[in-house]
Every structure is written in C-alpha cells, then in structure tokens.
C-alpha cells in the first residue's frame, strides 16, 4: 500500500467522525442563535423543535453514511490493487525462475524481456540482448526470415504457435535444438503489441531420437541380414532335406532288399544244413567240420539280417509290438537251450527267485534281447567259463541279468556300448566278430516295451548285462 493512499485513508476515517460532529455542532449553534431569532418571528415552537432535531441528527448521519461508503470503496479498491500486485509478483517470479527461456518481443520484433532461463540457455545477459532483433538468435539467412515471418503470421492469425521445433544459436554460436511456443499479445483495443515466446531446450531429446533412429536403422539392417542368412539356410535345409528323403528311400529299398532277398536264401541254407545233419548219417570228419562252419556262418548272417531289420523298423517307428502278460522263466529257459545248443564251450546256469511276477511284454522281442545278451556273454568270455542268468523282481520291475567271466567293459564305455555301431576298441572285441548293432537294438527294444537295459562290471570279474521290463499288474506265476 502506498504512503499517500494510506494517509488519505486515515483522513477519510477521521473525517467520518469529525464531519458529522462539526455538522451537529453547527446545527446546534445555528438553532440556538440564528434559528431561534427566525422562529421567534414565526413563533412556531413545534417547528423549531423539529428543525433542531432534524439538523442536529439527519445532517451528521447523512455525512457519516457518505463518508463511510467512500471509506469502504477505498478499502475494496486497495484490496483489489494489492491482489493484482501479488499476482503480478508471482507471475514475475515464475517467469524469471522458469527453466525455459521466456522472451517478450515487441511488434517490431525487438526483444523486450529476457528471463533467467533465456540467460542460461543462450548465454546472453538481459541487458545485452534487450533491444536486439529476435531473429538474431537464429543463423542469418533467408530461411530464418521466412521462418520468423511465418511465425508472426500464424501467431497473429491463430493467436499462438505451439510445439514448433527449430534451431537457434547461443552466445558462442553453438546450435541449440528448441521447441517454440509463441503467443501473440494484444492491447485493450485488440491491436497487436508483440509476442511472448517460450523456448525449451530439446537438444538432448533430439540426440536421443537421433540415437534411436541410428539404432533402428542398424537393427533393420541386422534383421535384413539375418533374414537373408535364414533364407539361405532354409534353402540349404531344403536341399539337405530332399537329400535325406532320397537317403531314406534308399534305406527303405535296402531294408526291403535285405528282408526279401537275403532272408529267404538264408532260411533255405539253414534248412538244408539241418536236413544234412539229420538225414546224412555218414559224413566224413572234414565234411562234418565244414557243416559246422556252414551252420555257424548261416546263423551269424541270420542274426545280422535280423538286427539290420530291427534297427530299420525301430528307427522308422514301424515295429509293431504284441504286448501281453508273459511268464518269464519258460522264455528264458528256451533261449538258454537255444544258445547252449550252439556252444559246447560254456555252461549257462539259471538262478531264480521264487514267486516271480509276469511281465507285460512282447514275447519274441524279449527273447531277442536275452538271446543277444547271452550270445555276447558267450562271445566275449573265455571258453570253458560259466555264464550265469539271474532273474529277480520287485513290485514294479522284473530284471534279467547275464553275467559272464570275460574281461568286462571299460568303465568309461559302459554307456556308449549301447550306441549304434559302437564297439570297444580292445583286442578282444576286434577278434570277436561283430558290427556294434546288437546292444543298440537291445536298448531300443527294451525301451519300446517300457523297460531299460544297462551294463556294469562284476566286483570280482566279468561283465553283467541286465534288462528290465514292467511287471504286469495282474496274477503271479
């Protein structure tokens, strides 16, 4: 509040009491001196009393009301002015404290006001830049003239320009990316008097956008490269696939050749051998030896054909299993008899636990697995040694183990001997005839029936090969 207005207010306040008092005194004096004389002339006592009362109260009261109203108007005016001043101050402090550059430009384009944000952004002090042209903040050239006149035009027409991105120069001539909002200012008669311009530094944002653009471009390039590589790989894969299909067709043809063209002559050959053994009573010793060799080699070939066929069918998923509850011991005994008939050099012994359950299996496939393990035990153990078969079971699994008195299997190879075509690289296995398919077929057959097969070495000596099958959850033997 200014000092003059405060004094004036005090005076009005004093007058509010003083003036009615003076009026009242004057009225009383008037009534007691001048009016008394006039009323004496008229001799109207009633009129006199009424006048004395009226002048000494109504006049001062009216004066009091008038002054009181004036005093109230003054107070209201005072309050409005102080609120306006506070709002101006707030606005000024917001403007000056703003991190954005807020610039006032007159209608000739000259800079009038320049806040702290503008000082920090451009490096000019307000006193140095005020009065200079707003376009001096841009790089000189026709483009700038076009841009500033466009800015003025749009701001005048529409009242403001918002979010216009452009480039300014700071005190040191460095480029600053800014986002500009310009608002046209007008006086009370709606005549343009300039513009208020807010500039926000977006250099970092622009840098990040540029970075993202570059990353995107490089990503797109990488995606294009990978897509091309993928297409090439797909092409290679398609070629490899068609080669594989051809191979598969060849395999099928081979399997069919083996099964039809080799099995039949082999069966005939082994039948002929059996016939000679039974029918020809007189054979000289040399022929007898040759016959034995013939029988062994025919059997070996039959086994090879069987294993090749099994492998092909198992791998192609074409092997059909006839699963049924099977009593194990008769099958085991049958296989023992068959293998024993082929060897005079080994003794095969069966040990069994009583009360064995039945297994749920394919009888022929189980026989093949056992025959294979038994043949190996005979093949890889010294002549005259014993081969022991142990059959045992728990609630869920029945296992058959074949133990021999051979050299056993090196610990590191116990798993790998079940791989296709895998043979232990030792003199014994090199001497023994084989092609590394037997155990592989055993594994596939056991697994196809829900069982497993494994090898270990006996703590004394020799190898123990076992397979297990699921117990049939029905009646026991």
Residues of the shown chain interacting with ligand ADP in the complex, contacts defined by CB under 6 A: 376-377, 380, 404, 406, 409, 417, 423-424, 429, 434-440, 463, 465
Nearest residue to 345 via CA among 384, 311, 300, 296 = 384
Give whichever of 400 and 417 is closer to ligand ADP, judged by the CB atom: 417
CB of 376 to ligand ADP, least distance (A): 3
Helix then strand then coil, % of the chain, to nearest 5: 60, 20, 20
- In angstroms, what is the minimal distance from the CB of 439 to ligand ADP? 3
Instruction: List, in order, residues 6 or more apart from 362 with CB less than 8 Å away.
Output: 321, 322, 323, 324, 449
State in angstroms the smallest separation of the CB of 367 from ligand ADP: 16
Of 156 and 258, which CB lies nearer to ligand ADP in the complex structure? 258
Nearest CB to ligand ADP, comparing residues 201 and 404: 404
The answer to whether the CB of 178 falls within 8 A of the CB of 187 is no
Q: By C-beta, is 169 or 391 nearer to ligand ADP?
A: 391
CA distance 450 to 446: 7
Distance CA 168, CA 135 (A): 9
Closest CB 386 distance from ligand ADP, rounded Å: 13
| Nearer to ligand ADP (CB atom), residue 111 or residue 442 | 442
Q: Which residue is nearest to ligand ADP (CB)?
A: 434
We find the least distance from the C-beta atom of residue 380 to ligand ADP, in angstroms, to be: 3
Closest CB 408 distance from ligand ADP, rounded Å: 6
For residues 469 and 477, what is the distance between their CA atoms, to the nearest angstrom? 16
Nearest approach, Cβ of residue 279 and ligand ADP (Å): 33
CB of 465 to ligand ADP, least distance (A): 6
Cα 310–Cα 315–Cα 316 angle in degrees, nearest 5: 100
Query: If residue 470 lies in a helix (H) or strand (E), which one and from where to where?
Result: strand 463-476
* Nearest to 248, CA basis, from 303, 306, 318, 305: 318
Residue whose pair of structure tokens reads 């008669």 in the numeric block: 189
Residue number, 357 or 406, with CB nearest to ligand ADP: 406
Q: For residues 116 and 458, which CB has a smaller minimum distance to ligand ADP in the complex? A: 458
Other CB atoms closer than 10 Å to residue 129's CB: what's the count? 20
- Biggest distance spanned by C-alpha atoms of the chain: 198
Instruction: Choose between 380 and 467: whose C-beta lies nearer to ligand ADP.
Output: 380
CB 116 within 8 A of CB 129: no
Q: How far apart are CA 426 and CA 416, in angstroms?
A: 14
In 98-235, the DSSP E strands lie at 101-106, 111-114, 160-169, 175-186, 192-201
């Amino acid at each position: 509040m200014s000092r003059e207005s405060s004094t004036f207010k005090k005076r009005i306040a004093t007058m509010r009491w003083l003036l009615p008092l003076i009026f009242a005194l004057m009225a009383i004096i008037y009534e007691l001196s001048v009016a008394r004389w006039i009323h004496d002339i008229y001799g109207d006592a009633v009129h006199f009393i009424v006048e004395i009362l009226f002048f000494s109260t109504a006049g001062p009261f009216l004066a009091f009301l008038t002054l009181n109203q004036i005093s109230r108007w003054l107070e209201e005016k005072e309050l409005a002015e102080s609120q306006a001043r506070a709002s101006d101050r707030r606005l000024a402090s917001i403007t000056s404290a703003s991190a954005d550059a807020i610039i006032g430009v007159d209608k000739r384009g000259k800079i009038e006001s320049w806040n702290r944000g503008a000082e920090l952004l451009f490096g000019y002090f307000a006193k140095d830049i005020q009065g200079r042209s707003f376009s001096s903040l841009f790089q000189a050239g026709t483009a700038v003239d076009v841009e500033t006149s466009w800015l003025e035009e749009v701001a005048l027409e529409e009242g403001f320009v918002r979010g216009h991105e452009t480039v300014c120069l700071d005190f040191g001539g460095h480029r600053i990316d800014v986002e500009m909002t310009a608002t046209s200012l007008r006086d009370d008669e709606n005549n343009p008097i300039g513009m208020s311009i807010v500039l926000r530094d977006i250099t970092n944002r622009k840098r990040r956008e540029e970075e993202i653009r570059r990353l995107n471009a490089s990503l797109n390039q990488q995606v294009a490269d990978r897509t091309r590589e993928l297409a090439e790989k797909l092409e290679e894969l398609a070629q490899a696939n068609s080669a594989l299909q051809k191979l598969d067709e060849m395999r099928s043809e081979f399997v069919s050749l083996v099964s039809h063209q080799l099995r039949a002559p082999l069966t005939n050959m082994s039948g002929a051998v059996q016939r000679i053994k039974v029918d020809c009573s007189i054979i000289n010793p040399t022929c007898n030896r040759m016959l034995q060799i013939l029988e062994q080699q025919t059997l070996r070939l039959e086994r090879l054909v069987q294993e090749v066929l099994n492998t092909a069918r198992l791998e192609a998923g074409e092997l059909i299993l006839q699963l049924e509850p099977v009593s194990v011991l008769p099958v085991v005994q049958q296989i023992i008899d068959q293998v024993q008939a082929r060897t005079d050099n080994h003794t095969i012994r069966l040990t069994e636990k009583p009360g064995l359950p039945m297994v749920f299996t394919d009888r022929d496939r189980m026989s093949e697995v056992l025959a294979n393990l038994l043949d190996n035990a005979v093949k890889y153990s010294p002549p005259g040694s014993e081969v022991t078969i142990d059959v045992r079971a728990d609630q869920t699994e029945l296992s058959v183990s074949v133990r021999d008195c051979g050299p056993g299997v090196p610990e590191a190879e116990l798993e790998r001997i079940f791989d296709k075509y895998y043979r232990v690289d030792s003199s014994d296995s090199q001497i023994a005839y084989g092609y590394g398919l037997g155990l592989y077929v055993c594994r596939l057959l056991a697994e196809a029936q829900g069982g497993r097969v494994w090898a270990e070495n006996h703590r004394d000596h020799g190898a123990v090969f076992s397979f297990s099958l699921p117990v049939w959850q029905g009646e026991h033997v």
